[in-house]
Structure 1
Amino acid sequence: MKHNDLFRINYELHGEPKSFIVRTTRMDNGEAWHWASCDAGVAVIPKFGQQKLKRVSKPMAEKYGITHVRWSGAEQIQWTEGLTQ
């Protein structure tokens, strides 16, 4: 069974839509809010294996203008799509 560790996160920063893809071993709503805060420059990007880092919560992120955070598994890239042989 293949495990997808790529996730797309969509959010708004002061009303402007933003989107990015992050590679991580797990994703949930709390993680998505933290990663959106990292992308917006509000939070610290965790180093590999760093567990003691304080996460940015939804209420704290909203104070910095981050809203409407949504996440989903990123689609797999089809490298051979459209190639003729």
Structure 2
Amino acid sequence: MAAGGGNGGGLFSAAWGLWATGFGWIIATDFRGAARRFHGMSQKFTLFDRATTSVNGVGFVRCVAGVFALAGPPSWFSGLWNSEIPPRCGSG
């Protein structure tokens, strides 16, 4: 399928919105310590020396996740709206 053609863009937006909503709400609400675990994993897998990197706390991670939680539903619904297949008028 050509880029930008068909319903791929709408389905991608719907999938991204659903993922962003779930990820954002789980991390922002710190469900079962998810934000602390995510922050710990991100600190564990840094590419640079830990002494020279700036360390952001769990509050920053939760704030960024809150942005995902708020941006997810509009993207999800707009993706569902744009992925509707129009009815065919004829076979010719």
Bigger RCO of structures 1 and 2 (CA < 8 A, at least 6 apart): 2
- The TM-score normalised by the length of structure 2 is 0.28
- The TM-score normalised by the length of structure 1 is 0.29
Larger radius of gyration: 2
Structure having the higher helix fraction is 2
